Amino acid sequence: MTANEISLGIDVGGTHTDLCSVQGTNIVRAKALTTHDDYSVGIFNALTNVSKIIDISVDDLLAKHCRAFVNGNTIVTNSLTELKGATVGVLVTGGFSDILRVGRGARMNVRDDHLQRNLPRLVPQEFVAEIDERIDRDGEVIVALDHVQVEKEVRRLVGLGVDCIAVCFLWSTANGSHEQEAEEIIKRVAPDIFVTQSISVASVFREFERWQTAILNCYVQPPVKNFVETVADGLRARGYERSLEFFNGLGGVLTEEVVKQVPIQLYSSGPAGGAVGSAALAKRYGLDEVLCGDMGGTSFDSILIHNQQPKVVQRCTIGRFDTALSLLDIDSIGAGGGSIIHLDSRGIPQVGPQSAGSMPGPVCSGRGGTEPTVTDCMAVMGFIDPENYLGGEYELDIDAAKNALEEKVGNALGWDATRTAAGAYSLVVANMANALRELSVSRGRDPRKCTFIAYGGALPVFSASVCQKLGITDMIIPGQSSAFSAYGLLEADYIRRESATIGWLVGEEDGYGHMIATRDRLEQLIRQDLKDAGFSDGEMQITFGGDFRYVGQLAEMNMAMAKSDVEKDLGVGINPVFDVAYEEEFGPGTAWTESDLMLVNYVVTGVGLRQKPDIQPVEAKNTDASHAILSTRRLFLPDTQEWVETPIYDADKLTPGTTFDGPGVIDCKDTTIYVPPSASIKRDEYNNFRVSIRAD
């Protein structure tokens, strides 16, 4: 990329629209408030803010300099949380429409009977049409599709005013002809209706998840289409002529055209951009085991990065919806800046999961909040700069925070505000540590061997303490911590993943031909898709893999393989390799070596390589940091549980190579980094903060 070319990553979150601009090695960040009635307004506000910093007008930026525009957003999440989406009609195999209501059971692992409610209804009963058709597991047609009935039901649904129709038939994975024929009838009868066949969004068995995914794809289509068109029109009107790319939950980007067909693919939760950014950092630093985390207003989100690839999880659950989607394996708990501190029925303090959100927000922000939050605790302990709270937009009302902490929690325990706040700090740290431990252990990793990459505006105050709790000794806080998710968008490739259920027993001739044909068909599909998106053969990376399980088990495990692995001696070489991978994941001695191995789903992934920011190391001079001390502030240190006059360092003055030992706080304007007494920190050659934490 030439020196003038600029890449823009824009992350439209619930509260803020973060923008990261990369021009050569120059990375700049800016923010604006998210404008929910018209997202493009917030995006242009952020663009205006960044244009001031880099001193290029928005029009010039878009028309002349901008080479890539990658957007991450929460449109799908919002639509599903608020249950605002399309009026969806469904065609479903006769006898099975109620699967859409109850799935595999709605009971949650929650004790309170009052919380045990049915699954949210996306499609009212009268919008579901049962169709006479049946295919069995071998793809044999048991009952042919009743075309007359389909046409009649489609007319009825259209009469009811549906925007979209999902076609959900049993075993369409074994034989897709009925879903295809039904779509053709719909297109003929009602050409304007958006149609999704269940196999077009997820060609894998387990009907509930596949059907649900098709229905969700329909449900979120109008808001996604509206968003994509609004942003595209806005940018094009200001002279931007290149393609727009949208970040998806798999950690890649998709083109406008693909997004309009499979809008559900846009689903991604907050830190997915950061996960991709973290994977890029892991590659840059040569780290094999990484945990990364982000803390927002309501939640702490984390993900494991193994061998520089963010972990992907199959069969993701979105809220209470089980889906067939494969997404980045992001784990979320209710521990954010807005999480409320309260006493439980035993009189013991708890943090969250209720949150004060951004409105009314923490008590200290003076916007009407009355419940003490995690942010209030940090204010009381002195970690928030009263001079520069929320960029100086708000006055920090520490006394109000103190009163709330004492009134709602502390008084009952005989504690003052400081002790209450410090207690809450410990709880937040313990909750995060538990989440990270569960995340790594459930994926077969030891957290102590991981590097923790902590980003976002709020997490770096807690992250060193979290490391201490887990025995993690190495942590990286990106230089652009608060806009790291937006930065991560620029590190994403174009990713498409196709899979198909085949159920082939490894080593068997039976079904071998079908498996090979499926593999080749998927590869063709992916290559064509990448070609359509504008990638040349040289820019394509096609990888092959399978979801395998031992016969007798029900859960599959994904394993990568070479294209030819299934060919040599009918693939018998796969068995021992899978055994090893399985035991690496689940522990020694766990492989079912006596069982046959089944390749349940063949998976082909296509990566269209995009040009990435060209980040080069700069010279790092080992220097003392005393020149960067702005001032000192009295902080209540959670480690020693006492007030300590602590040096505050100016992030801008910490040049590469600068090192200091804790305790200390780095003020990055929009982020506060806490370096505890048992840690030391260094600004490294990539302008990131590298923290060493001594094990206790």
Partner 1 sequence: MTTNTATNTSQTNTAAQSASGEFDPITAEVIRSAFDNITTEMSLVLLRTSGSPVLTESKDFSTVLFDADLNQIGSSGYILLHMASSRRGVEAVAKARVPDDVQPGDAFICNDPHTSGALHQGDVGIVMPIFYGDELVGWTFSNAHLMDIGGAAISGFAPEARDTFSEALRFPGTRVAHNAVLDDEWVSFMRNNVRVPLSFISDLRSLVAACNVGGERMGKLIDEYGQATLKKYIDYNIKLTEKALRERIARLPDGTYQTYDYVEYDGFGDDSLNPIFCEMTVSGDQLKFKFSGCPQVAAFINAGPSASEGSLIAPIMCQLAPDIPFNEGFWNCLEIDLGEEGSILNPVVPAPVTSGHASAGMRAGRMAQEAVAAACAASDDEELRSRVSGQSSGAVTLGIWFGEDNKGNPSMFMPFGMAVGIGGSGQTTGDGQDCYGMQSTLAIKWADIEVQELDSPVLMLWRKMQPNAGGAGVTRGGLAIDEAFMLHGANNFVGMNFQSGAEIPARGASGGLPGGCGKAWLIREGEVEQLLAKGKLPTSPELVKGVVDNSLLGCQTNIPFAKGDVFRGLGGGGGGLGDPFLRDPALIQQDLIDNAISANAAEQLYGAVFVNGSSTAVDANATWANRNALRSTLVASANVALDKLPKDTCHADVLRQNGSWVCAHCDTPLTSANESWTSGTQTQERDLADLFDATDTHIRRRHRKPVTLTEHYCPSCAVCLKVNVMVDQESTPVYNTAG
Q: How far is CA 261 from CA 19, 51, 201, 203, in A?
A: 27, 33, 9, 15
Comparing CB distances to partner 1, the nearer of 96 and 512 is 96
Which of 687, 675, 686, 678 has the alpha carbon at shortest distance from 629? Answer: 675
Using the rule CB under 8 A, is 317 a contact of partner 1?
no
Among the listed ranges 119-127, 179-187, 195-203, 254-262, the one in contact with partner 1 (CB under 8 A) is: 119-127
Which of 610, 285, 668 has the alpha carbon at shortest distance from 461? Answer: 668
Q: Total binding residues for partner 1 by CB under 8 A?
A: 78
Shortest CB 499 distance to partner 1, Å: 15
Shortest CB 438 distance to partner 1, Å: 6
55-94 binders of partner 1 (CB under 8 A): 93-94
Helix (H) or strand (E) holding 23: strand 16-23
Give 624: exposed, middle or buried? Use CB within 10 Å, 0-12, 13-18, 19+. exposed
Comparing CB distances to partner 1, the nearer of 315 and 496 is 315
Which of 163, 146, 140 has the alpha carbon at shortest distance from 93? Answer: 146
Comparing CB distances to partner 1, the nearer of 144 and 390 is 144
Long-range interactions of 363-368: CB distance < 8 A, separation 24+: 363/397, 363/400, 363/401, 363/403, 363/404, 364/389, 364/396, 364/397, 364/398, 364/400, 364/401, 365/389, 365/390, 365/394, 365/396, 365/397, 366/394, 366/395, 366/397, 366/400, 367/394
Shortest CB 209 distance to partner 1, Å: 8
Comparing CB distances to partner 1, the nearer of 237 and 348 is 348
Shortest CB 429 distance to partner 1, Å: 9
573-602 binders of partner 1 (CB under 8 A): 585-587, 589-590, 592, 594-595
414-473 binders of partner 1 (CB under 8 A): 414, 423, 426-427, 430-431, 434, 437-438, 441-442
Comparing CB distances to partner 1, the nearer of 286 and 414 is 414
Comparing CB distances to partner 1, the nearer of 505 and 629 is 505
Which of 497, 426, 438, 434 has the alpha carbon at shortest distance from 465? Answer: 426
20-59 binders of partner 1 (CB under 8 A): none
Which of 235, 437, 247, 416 has the alpha carbon at shortest distance from 331? Answer: 437
Shortest CB 338 distance to partner 1, Å: 20
529, 532, 534, 537: CA torsion to nearest 10: 60
Comparing CB distances to partner 1, the nearer of 321 and 689 is 321
Comparing CB distances to partner 1, the nearer of 276 and 351 is 351
Shortest CB 198 distance to partner 1, Å: 11
Distance CA 564, CA 396 (A): 63
Which of 25, 21, 19, 5 has the alpha carbon at shortest distance from 616? Answer: 25
Using the rule CB under 8 A, is 639 a contact of partner 1?
no
Comparing CB distances to partner 1, the nearer of 132 and 163 is 132
Comparing CB distances to partner 1, the nearer of 552 and 617 is 552
Using the rule CB under 8 A, is 359 a contact of partner 1?
no
Shortest CB 224 distance to partner 1, Å: 28
Among the listed ranges 112-120, 179-187, 332-340, 604-612, the one in contact with partner 1 (CB under 8 A) is: 112-120
Using the rule CB under 8 A, is 353 a contact of partner 1?
no
Binding mask 206-235 for partner 1 (x = CB under 8 A): xxxx--------------------------
Q: How far is CA 518 from CA 67, 174, 175, 514, 603, in A?
A: 37, 11, 12, 6, 10
The partner residues of 553 in beta bridges, in order of sequence, read 551
Read off the tokens for 56.
């290029």
- Determine which residue in the list 55, 113, 624, 645 makes contact with partner 1, applying CB under 8 A: 113
Comparing CB distances to partner 1, the nearer of 116 and 536 is 116
The partner residues of 607 in beta bridges, in order of sequence, read 495, 541
Q: How far is CA 441 from CA 291, 436, 591, in A?
A: 12, 8, 18
Comparing CB distances to partner 1, the nearer of 413 and 620 is 413
Shortest CB 434 distance to partner 1, Å: 5
- Determine which residue in the list 3, 117, 616, 624 makes contact with partner 1, applying CB under 8 A: 117
Q: How far is CA 476 from CA 291, 453, 469, in A?
A: 10, 5, 16
Asked whether the beta carbons of 478 and 277 are under 8 A apart, the reply is yes
Residue indicated by tokens 């295919």: 135
Among the listed ranges 107-115, 226-234, 253-261, 618-626, the one in contact with partner 1 (CB under 8 A) is: 107-115
- Determine which residue in the list 55, 112, 509, 537 makes contact with partner 1, applying CB under 8 A: 112
Comparing CB distances to partner 1, the nearer of 102 and 390 is 102
Using the rule CB under 8 A, is 148 a contact of partner 1?
no
- Determine which residue in the list 33, 52, 53, 95 makes contact with partner 1, applying CB under 8 A: 95
Give 509: exposed, middle or buried? Use CB within 10 Å, 0-12, 13-18, 19+. exposed
Distance CA 652, CA 554 (A): 54
Neighbours of 395 (CB within 10 A): 12
Comparing CB distances to partner 1, the nearer of 50 and 199 is 199
241-300 binders of partner 1 (CB under 8 A): none
- Determine which residue in the list 53, 83, 144, 695 makes contact with partner 1, applying CB under 8 A: 144
Shortest CB 381 distance to partner 1, Å: 14
Residue indicated by tokens 């295809």: 180
493-552 binders of partner 1 (CB under 8 A): 503, 550, 552
Shortest CB 548 distance to partner 1, Å: 14
- Determine which residue in the list 55, 159, 345, 564 makes contact with partner 1, applying CB under 8 A: 345
Shortest CB 436 distance to partner 1, Å: 11
Using the rule CB under 8 A, is 120 a contact of partner 1?
no
Shortest CB 457 distance to partner 1, Å: 25
Using the rule CB under 8 A, is 695 a contact of partner 1?
no
Shortest CB 143 distance to partner 1, Å: 5
- DSSP for 202-262, please give it: --SS-HHHHHHHHHHHHHTHHHHHHHHHHHHHHHHHTT--S-EEEE-TTSSEEEHHHHHH-
151-210 binders of partner 1 (CB under 8 A): 170-171, 173, 205-209
Read off the tokens for 669.
């304007």
Read off the tokens for 70.
């990658």
Among the listed ranges 128-136, 328-336, 511-519, 664-672, the one in contact with partner 1 (CB under 8 A) is: 128-136
The bridge status of strand 253-255 relative to strand 321-322 is unpaired
Residue 420 CA, chain-centre distance (Å), reads 33
Using the rule CB under 8 A, is 349 a contact of partner 1?
yes
392-411 binders of partner 1 (CB under 8 A): none
Comparing CB distances to partner 1, the nearer of 418 and 481 is 418
What type of residue sits at position 289? E
Neighbours of 127 (CB within 10 A): 19
Q: What is the rounded end-to-end Cα distance, in angstroms, of the chain?
A: 47
Asked whether the beta carbons of 435 and 333 are under 8 A apart, the reply is yes
- Determine which residue in the list 146, 163, 508, 539 makes contact with partner 1, applying CB under 8 A: 146
Shortest CB 261 distance to partner 1, Å: 25
Comparing CB distances to partner 1, the nearer of 78 and 177 is 177
Neighbours of 580 (CB within 10 A): 12
